[in-house]
Chain A
Amino acid sequence: QKEVEQDPGPLSVPEGAIVSLNCTYSNSAFQYFMWYRQYSRKGPELLMYTYSSGNKEDGRFTAQVDKSSKYISLFIRDSQPSDSATYLCAMYSSASKIIFGSGTRLSIRP
């Protein structure tokens, strides 16, 4: 079993919808959680970074961490075609042990 599980999708939603992306993990030592967006032929771009349970909001993006359930989510409000990309979750307990999910492909239909 992988330490981090992420549904690969693809996920297709209409423009303006709320998108929910999720990852589950098994290692309770993970303390820091990240979400990245990756466009085709580009490097992953950091969207959200958090190190505690609860919610963190940045514009249309909200990251949610539930350490008791070992579950993290990324919500995108008012989704736009430009949000179409692959979204990667990542987490770590130390700089030498950073684990990435396999990524979810998201498509926003105009």
Chain B
Amino acid sequence: DAGITQSPRHKVTETGTPVTLRCHQTENHRYMYWYRQDPGHGLRLIHYSYGVKDTDKGEVSDGYSVSRSKTEDFLLTLESATSSQTSVYFCAISDNNSPLHFGNGTRLTVT
């Protein structure tokens, strides 16, 4: 898994509650990404980071925020979870001109 750990692996939460997912890497890679994967939509980029405290939005960023205070950690926060955010969330890492490597995902259910 290229030194990527996602936590938690599974989470069930109620609509309106805040949720934070964590991605931790041991590869010292510059870039970190959060994707969601849904049937019929494939992998869609939520946010990415190109360095400590440097982040930018992806194609489906509404309702999500991120933070990267250390090279190895990238947090994804759902401020107020909605049922449409039920999904599988993948973290990925890469370095300059290198391919992405993915973690094993977090399965989030919002009831």
Q: Which chain A residues have a beta carbon within 8 Å of chain B's beta carbons?
A: 32, 34, 36, 41-46, 49, 51, 88, 90, 95-96, 98, 100-103
Q: A43-B90, A88-B43 are in contact. List 5 more A-B contacts (CB 8 A).
A: A36-B102, A42-B105, A51-B97, A95-B31, A102-B40
A43 near B105: Cβ-Cβ < 8 Å: yes
Q: Top 3 closest A-B pairs, CB basis?
A: A43-B102, A102-B42, A100-B43
B104 near A43: Cβ-Cβ < 8 Å: yes
Q: Which chain B residues have a beta carbon within 8 Å of chain A's beta carbons?
A: 1, 31, 33, 40-43, 45, 48, 50, 56, 90, 94, 96-105, 107
Q: Is the interface of B mostly helix, strand, loop or mixed?
A: strand
The answer, among B1, B48, B105, for a CB contact under 8 Å with A96, is: B48
Residue pairs across A and B with Cβ atoms less than 8 A apart, 6 shown, are A34-B100, A42-B104, A43-B90, A90-B100, A95-B96, A96-B56
